[in-house]
Amino acid sequence: MDPTLSTVPIPQSAGIPQPPPPACDETSAISVKDKTNEIGDPSNIINPVAINNSTPVNNPDQNDTNGHKKRKFTQEEDEIVRQLVNEHGPKQWDLIAKSLKNRTARQCRDRWKHYLSPTVSLREWTLEEDRLLLSYTQQFGPQWAALVKFFPGRTDINLKNRFNKLQRKSKKLSQMNPNVQIPTLPSPDHQQPVPPSGQPLQCPMPSLVKDGNKEASPPPPPPPPPPQET
């Protein structure tokens, strides 16, 4: 077949009904306002309380190097990884992977680092953590590895997964509630460097949206009383 024929438009036959044009995706028509200004002010962000906290930490390496979908780690596999780490230490991943069928050294390492290690917190995300995560990412961008020092027990993958979950949920809720704003990340030009650990962060606290009404941020602490005259 002549390849040039594929570029020739085919005229529509008279009297033959034509298929309707493709329907417009409602989600693509939603106008999303980027609430991150020059300092990354995340106003009217989705209420993190509405996000389900019961989902466990996702395995960061669900796909292998060939892009094939990998099954989730089973409880039995987790116990094997724990036992072998206790025996050989958290560095012998090639040796540990040989004891697990169809698991790579990287998968075993990441499973331990982001889920099984006793230093990783599997507790539910609190409202305060969600507020801080949204505020910090609005100002500093996706510098997950640098932000973990402000979230004890969380890893960079934990922070990334949580932010993405908040963002996905807010997109769905924004279709039903126009007051819900979608968390976004600042452009690289507006991202600020994360200060050293121990230095207080000057981040605006996002106001949240709940049931279509703005929920005020926590009030500032009262000023200290004036000194008494002697």
Q: What is the pLDDT of residue 83?
A: 96
Go through 86-102 and write b for each residue having 16 or more CB atoms within 10 A of its CB, e for each that does not: eeeebebbeebbeebee
What is the secondary structure of 165-230 as a DSSP string? HHHHHHHHHHTT-TTPBPP-PPPGGGPPPPPPTTSPP--PPPPEEETTEEEPPPPPPPPPPPPPP-
Q: Is the pLDDT of residue 42 over 90?
A: no
CATH class of 123-175: mainly alpha
Q: Using alpha carbons only, what angle is made at residue 84 by residues 79 and 86, rounded to the nearest 5 degrees?
A: 95
First-last CA distance in the chain: 103
Using pLDDT thresholds of 50, 70 and 90, give the confidence band for residue 1. Answer: low
Cα(209)–Cα(206) distance, rounded to whole angstroms? 10
Q: What is the pLDDT of residue 174?
A: 77
| Most confident by average pLDDT, 47-56, 160-169, 171-180 | 160-169
Residue with tokens 């993190």: 48
Contact indicator for 180, 209 with CB cutoff of 8 Å: yes
pLDDT digits (tens, 9 = 90+) for 63-84: 555 544 568 999 999 999 999 9
CATH class of 73-120: mainly alpha
Q: Is the pLDDT of residue 43 over 50?
A: no
Using alpha carbons, select from 153, 72, 133, 157 the residue that is nearest to residue 107.
72
Q: Is the pLDDT of residue 142 over 60?
A: yes
Domain ranges, ordered by start, for the chain: 73-120, 123-175
Q: Could you tell me which residue, 171 or 2, shows the higher pLDDT? A: 171
Question: What value does the mean pLDDT take over residues 100-120?
Answer: 93
Q: Could you tell me which residue, 189 or 156, shows the higher pLDDT? A: 156
Cα(209)–Cα(212) distance, rounded to whole angstroms? 6
Report phi then psi at 150, rounded to 5.
Answer: -95, 0
Using pLDDT thresholds of 50, 70 and 90, give the confidence band for residue 109. Answer: very high
Q: Could you tell me which residue, 180 or 28, shows the higher pLDDT? A: 180
Q: What mean pLDDT, rounded, does the chain reach?
A: 70
Instruction: Calculate the alpha carbon distances from 193 to 155, 156, 161 in Å.
Output: 19, 16, 21
Q: What is the pLDDT of residue 199?
A: 56
* Residue 209 bridge partners (DSSP): 46, 214
8: left (phi over 0), alpha (psi -120 to 50) or beta: beta
Same fold, 73-120 and 123-175: yes
Q: What is the pLDDT of residue 177?
A: 77
Q: What is the pLDDT of residue 214?
A: 43
